[in-house]
Amino acid sequence: MDILSKIIKKKKEELEYLKKNVSISKLEKSIYFNTKTNSLVNSINNRDISIIAEHKRKSPSKSNINHLTSTKDIVHGYEYGGAVGISFLTEKNFFDGSVEDFKEARKITKLPLLRKDFIIDEYQIIESKSIGADAILLIAACLNDTDILKLSNLAKSIGLEVLIEIHEIEELKKSSISTIDIIGINNRDLKTFDVNIETSLNLINKIPSSFTKISESGLNSSVEINKLKNHGFDGFLIGERFMKSQYPGKELSNFISKIKDES
């Protein structure tokens, strides 16, 4: 069984438990259901160098990344360091993510927050809104055409923007629908966790111009960012590059400065 299949299997077990213990009606009583969301799309498109900085404690490929820096320090660091938004991994079994970390971040920043998880059920869309998300991530590799339409429709109906992650042309074809706002090309194969930036370069010209386009994963150098920008990417989602430092926000700030200097 590949890594993605293991994660989805565990996610289904987790959802069974959550649905029994926290009802949708309870989730809908959250104050965030009456709060206007902040547009991640606008934030990306209004900045010359648009980096969605990620809060990620560990991953299946790299094990522990950063369990020392507090969520508060990470969020404030990213905000002052120049992030256009913050991506939060909330998957707990493989990434050590936490809905509680997300809630803490929502209380202390007005930056758009992307809930990044393995979303396969409408329950998770409602949950995302209830914890203060502005946008959600869908992963085309673990969803069929009907799932993508159903989940993105629900998200849009409650004011959430939708970023869909693709890895290949067939995933792009089923993802190019009107209820998707951002198409992200993930350079990491979620089945093997191998990384290849050529994935982004090979697919960028096939994405319709109506979508905001970002590149994700394995982005480490300013040279890569400028190359991808020149090929038409609007933004970038980067986590490990910053999280492996004790001061992620400072790393982000330095990285943006270097991109500007070399552009």
For 81, 106, 150, 223, 230, the CA distances from 204, given in Å and listed in that order, are 27, 32, 25, 17, 11
Residue 245 designated active-site:
no
Residue 91 designated active-site:
no
Domain limits for position 73: 3-32+40-262
Over residues 78-107, mean pLDDT = 95
Exposed (0-12), middle (13-18) or buried (19+): which is 118, by Cβ within 10 Å?
A: buried
Residue 116 designated active-site:
yes
The residue ranking higher by pLDDT, 255 or 220, is 255
Check 79, 87, 91, 116 and give the catalytic one.
Answer: 116
Least confident of 58-67, 83-92, 136-145, 209-218: 58-67
Kindly indicate the confidence band of residue 260, based on its pLDDT and cuts at 50, 70 and 90. very high
CA 97 to centroid of chain Cα atoms? 13
For 31, 97, 128, 182, the CA distances from 125, given in Å and listed in that order, are 16, 17, 5, 17
Intra-chain end-to-end CA distance of the chain, in Å: 43
Check 43, 50, 87, 186 and give the catalytic one.
Answer: 186
Residue 104 designated active-site:
no
Structural domains counted in the chain? 1
Tens digits of residue pLDDT in 101-123: 999 999 999 999 999 999 999 99
Residue 186 designated active-site:
yes
Model pTM score: 0.94
Predicted confidence at residue 1, as pLDDT, reads 65
∠ CA(68), CA(70), CA(74), 5° rounding? 110
Over residues 147-151, mean pLDDT = 97
Tens digits of residue pLDDT in 154-199: 999 999 999 999 999 999 999 999 999 999 999 887 677 777 888 9
Predicted confidence at residue 110, as pLDDT, reads 94
Contact 32, 134 (CB under 8 A): no
- pLDDT over 80 at 60, yes or no: no
Q: Which of 79, 108, 77 is nearest to 250 (CA)?
A: 77
- pLDDT over 80 at 263, yes or no: no
Predicted confidence at residue 66, as pLDDT, reads 81
Predicted confidence at residue 64, as pLDDT, reads 85
Whole-number average pLDDT of the chain: 93
Residue 263 designated active-site:
no
Kindly indicate the confidence band of residue 67, based on its pLDDT and cuts at 50, 70 and 90. confident
Residue 34 designated active-site:
no
Separation CA 74–CA 68 (nearest Å): 10
For 22, 212, 231, the CA distances from 202, given in Å and listed in that order, are 43, 17, 10
Predicted confidence at residue 239, as pLDDT, reads 86
**For position 229, which CATH number holds?**
3.20.20.70
Element (DSSP H or E) covering residue 101 = helix 99-108
Check 54, 127, 161, 171 and give the catalytic one.
Answer: 54
Q: What share of the chain is helix, strand, coil (3-state, %, to 5)?
A: 45, 15, 35
